[in-house]
Amino acid sequence: MLSRLGAKPEKSPRTPAAIGIGMAKKQAQRDAKKLEEAFETGMAQRKGMGKKKKAAQSEFSAACCSL
């Protein structure tokens, strides 16, 4: 409400690095799972993706399966 009047929004408290790294890793896992499901259902195609993204996705899936 106040941001519409020109006030700055309140900052959220700083997240410690150890927690932030874990959160980022878990988000990457969620994104990879969502992308894989999109491939399986035909919502997305691997063909149109760039080389870097394909390599990162295959590398992540290999690391994910080894856990």
Residue with more model confidence, 8 or 24: 24
Give the model confidence (pLDDT) of 10-52 as tens digits: 888 999 999 999 999 999 999 999 988 988 898 877 777 776 6
Compute CA 63 distance to the chain's CA centroid, rounded to the nearest angstrom. 16
Compute CA 9 distance to the chain's CA centroid, rounded to the nearest angstrom. 25
pLDDT in the model for residue 39: 87
Distance CA 40, CA 55 (A): 18
